[in-house]
Structure formats: structure tokens, C-alpha cells
Amino acid sequence: MNASSSAPAPRDGARAECIRVMVVDDSVVIRGLLSRWVEADPALQLVASHRNGKLAVDDIERSNPDVVVLDIEMPEMDGLTALPLMLRKKRDLVVVMASTLTRRNAEVSLRALSLGAHDYVPKPESTSEVTTSIDFRRELIDKVKALGQRRRGGGASAGGRMMRAQTTAGRTASQAPAGAMPAGYARLAAGAAAVPAAPAIRTRAYSSARPRILAIGSSTGGPQALQQLFTDIGTSIREVPVVLTQHMPPTFTAILAEHIAKAALRPAKEADNGEVLKPGHIYVAPGGLHMTVDKDGGQVVARLNDSPPVNFCKPAVDPLFDSVAKIYGSATLAVVLTGMGHDGAAGVRTIAAGGGSIIAQDEATSVVWGMPGAAAQTGMCCEILPITRIGPKISGLLSGGPR
């Protein structure tokens, strides 16, 4: 073993049930800190740490990690170069990118997601901030555990296993055309296990009203899902505004909007406070601010506010869904995509109470079936669909097609 890496001796017991983690960062301080955080969690096992991408790539087969926490800027081989080489050696490897909040790093992180990384964690600007940031530590460890459990098959709920078995109309996500998916989704769909059917999650009928707005909530795995969704929707949103909350920090949301605009071939941007919502335009909640909608002189406008986090998130989905339901009622169409936690579930109930329609992404194509799973478990969704079927369904609903 070289001086840049370390593989601690296994802790008591077989450790076979633990999620195996590799940390890759050129800073010896950060690398040591992240490694200690991993070792301190009984659900995780640190199997290696490296100072650059080349050493990590060379060690993948020996260390056999379930999850790699991968820095972007490193000497000899950076994270973006190392990523596809790692995935070539271990197809089902979960990679979480870690980078500071610069525009370049945000661009690279989103590029990494399209190449097969599962998620990213924004690092504080300075080493001292990293060492003292409770939020950064919590987010990193929570994501490593959630994504690691998903990779090992331990994150499936009974409802999620049911959805894999009986995706609507008998067509499972593993039968969807993988060529149309971003890299991470192709692997998820191809690997979706066949399982026995379970009692169905309760659903409700779609609203008879034609949608006048599309509201979307997403988190972990969201950028990949949104790319697929907006590519499939295309110009069918030209008659309604789209409002979107993706759990992301500042800088990232502006770049996400640019990527969405390219996928949808429609205008997309971070929303401005008081901005009138226009049909065919996509409004993204800026990182660090909640976005809601409101009436102003007969027009619907976006509202931004700096109130406390909701469900530990800012922006959060629930405030957006609640506000949309109050204005659009039964003409609301909402979608809950892949993500950790349960943000959006309360808003789903509000939308359903107002007569609106909700679609949730299924577990087999979700990076983490937390948010859509929580939405599905309310019994208020109209359908739970694989990502490749959500866009076409939205297009049909917006055009007044069959429910």
C-alpha cells in the first residue's frame, strides 16, 4: 500500500453487512476527516482512501467499494477523468462527487451525473469550514448510506418492491428502452430485480380538469431524471408554466436551469421574486431560497423567501406544492421524482385535497425512492411510473388526452 492510501483493519465482526466506502481527495486533511466520519458510523466501513483518481481506479478491484466519495480537482487524474474508468471496472459502483461551490465545479458535477455518478455533495469553501460544518457531514453520510443501501438492494420498501413487480400496464422499468436513459438510469433499469407481487399501493383517479400548471419536486438523482423528463416532454408544455424545486445549493440551480432549457427546448431559468409565470417557461427555485406562487393583480407570480428550511431542505417542495394547490386547484398537475427523505408528501395531500393530479416516479428507476415513495404511500397519487413513461404521460394530460 502506498502512502496516499489506507485500508483500516475491519472492525469487530464480519462487517459483511456494512456499506464499503472509498474516499478520494487530494487534501490530506479533508481525506482524513471524511475517512474518520465514515469509520465512526457503524453502518459504514472505510476500505480505502486515495489522494488522486489514478490510485483510486487502480484500487477499485482490490478494495471493492460499494460507494466512492470522489473529489473533482486532483493532481495526476481528476475526478471526472476517473469516474468512467471506475464504472468500467465496477458497473454497479455508486459514486458521489464532492466539490466546492464554484461555477466550474457545479458544471463538472452535473456533467459527472450524466456520465453515471449518482449524486454530489457541495463542500464548504475552506478546510476550516469543512471541519466545523455539521450540515456537510450529515448530508455526506446520509447520502452515502442511502445510496449504498440502494446499490446493495437494502433500500427497497415493501411498497417499492411491489412497484417493481407491477409497474402500470404490466410494463416494468427494466423493459424500458435503456438507450434513452442517462447512464445512471440505464444501469438502474437493467438491474431492477424481478420480485413477487405485493398488495398494490392505493391510487386515485386523475382530475377531469385540463392541467394549467406543472409542478415538479426532486432531490437525489433529480438532475438525471429531469434531463430524461424534459427531453420526453419537449414542446408539450408550451401552454402551461412549469415550476420546479430541486434540492440544490446556489450556483447549481442556475446551471441546472441551463441544462433543462437545452433538454426541453424551452426557456428555463431561476425564478425572480415577483416574476409573472408565462406558459411554456420553466422556473427553477434558486438554491438557498424557497419558491412559491401567488396571485398579483390577476396574474400568477413567483415568490421567493428566506424562511427556515422545511424538511431540512431549502428550497423545499412542500411550500411550492401547497401554494400551487391554492391557486390552481383541480387544474394542478404535480410530479414527485427521485430523492431522499419525504419532502413533497405533505404537499401531495394538499394538491389531492384540491382535486389536482399527482404522478410519482417508481422505485426501480429512482436513485433513492424516498420522496416518491413517501408520496406514493399517501394514497393520493394517480399513478406511479418509471421515468421513461412520465414524460409521455404528462404530454398526454396536457394535450387533453385520456386519463
Catalytic residues: 219, 247, 343
Q: What angle do CA 5, 9, 13 make, to 5 degrees?
A: 145
Conformational region of residue 221, where left means phi above 0, alpha means psi within -120 to 50, and beta covers everything else: left
Segment (H or E) for 195:
none
- Angle between the 103-115 and 79-89 helix axes, to the nearest 10 degrees? 10
Q: Can you spell out the DSSP letters for 20-34?
A: EEEEE-S-HHHHHHH
Beta-ladder partners of 243: 215, 283
Please name the amino acid found at residue 390.
I
Strands 357-361 and 383-385: parallel
Report long-range pairs for 303-311 (Cβ below 8 Å, ≥24 apart). 303/273, 303/274, 304/271, 304/272, 304/273, 310/343, 311/341, 311/342, 311/343
Cis peptide preceding 196, ω within 30 of 0: no
Distance of CA 316 to the CA centre of its chain: 13
Q: Tell me which residue of 391, 121, 385 sits closest to 263, measured CA to CA.
A: 391
Contact 316, 284 (CB under 8 A): no
CA distance 201 to 196: 15
**Residue 335 to residue 358: CA distance in whole angstroms:** 6
Question: Which amino acid belongs to residue 247?
Answer: H
> What is the DSSP secondary-structure string of 290-325?
EEEEEEETTEEEEEEE-PPPBTTBSS-HHHHHHHHH
Nearest to 392 by CA among 189, 172, 228, 167: 228
